[in-house]
Structure 1
Amino acid sequence: MATKTIARPRTPVASEETTQDPADLLENTLSQLEALLWICHGEDIDWCSGDGPRRLDNLLWLAAEMARKAGELFQMSEKARRGAPETGG
């Protein structure tokens, strides 16, 4: 049975205590954007060879990063909602 592969950034993710170099953040974002635009072309994409696997890895990384950010935003909104005073209707 195949093992599950989870996409992850090629560079270490910055923790809250440390900040990542802006040049690294830009390079990461450009790699993700390039992969996204590459699949939008859609014609004759070979996901098994050439640039395909690297582009797919970057797309999965982008999706995982967006899901993580969405989770963080949800947690922040829940804390704000719980901290907001209740208003009667």
Structure 2
Amino acid sequence: MVKVTYEIVPHDEGWAYRSNGAYSERFDSHDQALEAARIVVRELSLNDEPVRIIYQDEDGKWRAEMSSGDDRPEAEIVDNYQPKQGRHSA
């Protein structure tokens, strides 16, 4: 089974989720980026209707096959963000 990982990362003076080197749109906060990634993961896990897919393979040949719609990838979110604790002066 294919596994897709979404990582929550700082991006463009805000936050984004990143998968396989591609960034989402920019979000103002970490929490917004995390929630957007959660929505993507939920939608990615939904079964779909069978469809015919056409793609070009590594050798440049066009291929066609049926996707049953129930072969969704496993998805996870990696979030290593740890907010900085406020410093108190004595």
Q: Which of the two has greater helix per residue?
A: 1
